[in-house]
């Protein structure tokens, strides 16, 4: 029986506490902390004390958002739980539009990360000039498809890379942090004086403080990622909160210490004039290790790329299960990986890499994420009111949902008010264009005979099959009861 269970083709609950925490840390620590923590300092008017307070506030805001999403992942322990949640709260149309934007916005983010990764990997070979476009694009495509292959081989294949990447990120940030602490303890006048009168600088107005908070908030984004893989977590009701309360405090301590270290070694003006603060810091502090930082940024981006592809495929997988994408997307290969979803996401991202002029347009969809966050928070309130007796092993403190909603609304409204541009109208039109597919294919359930024939051929070609859904549903039911 155990052998039969092992051979069953379905998304397995392989993520325990350590892998879940590692997954969360990878998602939150991107290239941002290495490259440009200057946004917070700039909008804090170079007020050192205030900039550190902003980082602490951002950590608290990230924790509140993560806990809101934790309620969703625990109440509905499916992979792609946030999509399933929107469908349950607001119906199939809103869920489809969420799917529609996430397909393209996800591909845009993945393509941008692959190109950044290629740039950091190639840059050491072109020390005094810009990296040429063709080798950069070729390397970005190679990295992207290698991530696709890793994802199609199931989670076991990527587990070691995930753990190594987490250790590497934490070790390098730890090195920067400890070096800064050591410099402070030595007590040299030029290192210490910036912190003795930390709040003496110019004090920004409220709009600048809000802008600084948004800058830092982006560095902490990614705390909701466990809802994407809630169907692959062991005991989600215990694992999700434990992972959040381990990962976010750890990342907060690292981010604060790294910023203190940057400010110990470099002046605020030097930080603002640097494109990659970590590299400038290393040049000044440990010049022998300057080559390690671009490598660290590359490794950091590669693991983020891996996690982002995994996240995106879980949404298309559950959309196939819910009848909003062809049944082919609700299939798994022998490694229990949604191969067709992986191919779709990687192919879309590859198209964006080849036609790089699309990246700017697709990245404009990024502000749509904030709109979906606002809707999700409204969904939590709506479901609390409409279904008070729904089994919720964990309930988020309701003011947290209002805080997250306010921040997300700010991220939508402030850019619209400060610099109203035509591309926001294009993004809105793109969102509505999803209706052209939703009305005939989902609402009227239009059947395409040729596509159904092609589905059979594709199933045989890629060796994929529909998983044993009843087992997954039974597991979810037992978790909820």
Distance CA 29, CA 59 (A): 12
Contacts of 333 (CB under 8 A, 6+ apart): 9, 152, 339, 462, 463, 464
Per residue of the chain (481 residues), what is the pLDDT tens digit? 333 445 677 788 888 899 899 999 988 988 778 766 888 888 888 888 899 999 999 999 999 999 999 999 999 998 889 999 999 999 999 999 999 988 888 888 888 888 888 887 887 777 667 778 888 899 999 999 999 999 998 777 777 888 888 888 888 889 889 988 888 888 777 667 777 777 777 788 887 888 888 888 888 888 888 999 988 898 999 999 999 999 999 999 999 999 999 988 888 888 888 777 888 888 888 888 777 777 777 877 888 899 889 989 999 999 988 889 888 888 898 888 899 999 999 999 999 888 866 556 555 666 788 889 999 999 999 999 999 999 899 999 999 999 999 988 888 887 788 777 777 788 888 888 999 999 998 888 887 777 777 888 888 888 888 886 544 454 444 434 4
Residues for the chain: how many in total? 481
Task: Look at residues 223, 216, 278, 273 and name the one whose alpha carbon lies nearest to residue 245.
Answer: 223
CB distance 68 to 404 below 8 Å: yes
Phi, psi torsion values for 436, nearest 5 degrees? -60, -30
Task: Look at residues 196, 465, 185 and name the one whose alpha carbon lies nearest to residue 330.
Answer: 465
pLDDT of residue 138: 93
pLDDT of residue 363: 53
| C-alpha distance from residue 408 to each of 93, 268, 312, 415, 480 (Å) | 22, 29, 21, 12, 30
Phi, psi torsion values for 229, nearest 5 degrees? -115, 25
Q: Enumerate the domain spans of the chain.
A: 17-473
Q: Collapse the DSSP code of 157 into the 3-class scheme (helix H, G, I; strand E, B; otherwise coil) and give the result.
A: helix
pLDDT of residue 361: 57
Whether the full predicted model's pTM is greater than 0.85, yes or no, is: yes
CB distance 161 to 19 below 8 Å: no
Helix residue ranges per DSSP H, 266-327 = 268-272, 277-285, 292-321
Other beta carbons less than 10 A from residue 125's beta carbon: 8
Phi, psi torsion values for 149, nearest 5 degrees? -65, -45
Task: Look at residues 204, 206, 334, 191 and name the one whose alpha carbon lies nearest to residue 266.
Answer: 191
Say what angle helices 155-186 and 133-152 make with each other, to 10 degrees.
120
pLDDT of residue 419: 72
pLDDT of residue 54: 92
Contacts of 210 (CB under 8 A, 6+ apart): 410, 414
CB distance 297 to 62 below 8 Å: no
Q: State how far Cα 80 lies from the chain centre.
A: 13
What the block records as the tokens of 337 is 């990986």
CATH number of the 17-473 domain: 1.20.1740.10
pLDDT of residue 367: 74
- For the chain, the farthest-separated pair of C-alpha atoms sits apart, in whole angstroms, at 77
Distance CA 377, CA 405 (A): 6
């Amino acid at each position: 029986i155990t052998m039969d269970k092992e051979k069953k083709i379905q998304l397995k609950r392989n993520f325990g506490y350590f892998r879940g925490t590692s997954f969360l840390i990878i998602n939150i620590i991107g290239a941002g902390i290495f490259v440009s923590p200057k946004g917070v300092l700039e909008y804090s008017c170079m007020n050192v004390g205030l900039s550190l307070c902003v980082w602490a506030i951002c950590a608290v805001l990230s924790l509140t958002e993560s806990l809101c999403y934790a309620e969703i992942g625990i109440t509905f322990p499916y992979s792609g739980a946030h999509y399933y949640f929107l469908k349950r709260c607001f119906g199939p149309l809103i869920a489809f539009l969420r799917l529609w934007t996430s397909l393209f916005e996800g591909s845009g983010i993945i393509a941008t990360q692959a190109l950044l990764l290629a740039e950091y990997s190639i840059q050491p070979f072109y020390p005094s000039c810009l990296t040429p476009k063709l080798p950069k694009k070729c390397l970005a495509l190679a990295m992207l498809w290698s991530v696709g292959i890793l994802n199609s081989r199931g989670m076991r294949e990527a587990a070691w890379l995930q753990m190594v990447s987490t250790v590497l990120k934490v070790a390098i940030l730890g090195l920067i942090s400890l070096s800064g602490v050591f410099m402070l303890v030595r007590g040299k006048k030029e290192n210490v004086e910036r912190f003795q009168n930390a709040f003496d600088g110019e004090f920004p107005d409220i709009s600048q403080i809000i802008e600084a908070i948004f800058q830092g908030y982006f560095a902490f984004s990614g705390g909701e990622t466990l809802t994407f893989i809630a169907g692959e977590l062991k005991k989600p009701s215990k694992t999700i909160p434990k992972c959040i309360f381990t990962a976010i405090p750890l990342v907060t301590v690292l981010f604060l210490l790294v910023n203190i270290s940057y400010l110990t070694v470099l002046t605020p003006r030097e930080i603002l004039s640097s494109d990659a603060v970590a590299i400038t810091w290393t040049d000044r502090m440990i010049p022998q290790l300057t080559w390690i930082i671009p490598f660290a940024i590359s490794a950091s981006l590669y693991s983020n790329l891996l996690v982002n592809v995994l996240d995106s495929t879980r949404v298309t997988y559950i959309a196939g299960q819910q009848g909003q994408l062809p049944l082919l997307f609700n299939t798994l290969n022998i490694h229990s990986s949604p191969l067709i979803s992986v191919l779709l996401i990687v192919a879309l991202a590859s198209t964006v890499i080849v036609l790089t002029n699309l990246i700017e347009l697709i990245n404009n969809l990024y502000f749509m994420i904030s709109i979906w966050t606002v809707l999700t928070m409204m969904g939590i309130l709506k479901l609390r009111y409409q279904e008070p007796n729904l089994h919720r092993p964990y309930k988020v403190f309701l003011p947290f949902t209002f805080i997250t909603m306010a921040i997300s609304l700010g991220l939508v409204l402030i850019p619209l008010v400060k610099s109203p541009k035509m591309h926001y109208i294009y993004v809105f039109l793109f969102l509505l264009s999803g209706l052209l597919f939703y009305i005939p294919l989902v609402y009227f359930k239009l059947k395409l005979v040729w596509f159904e024939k092609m589905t059979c051929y594709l199933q045989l070609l890629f060796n994929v099959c529909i998983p044993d859904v009843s087992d997954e549903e039974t597991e979810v039911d037992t978790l909820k009861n």
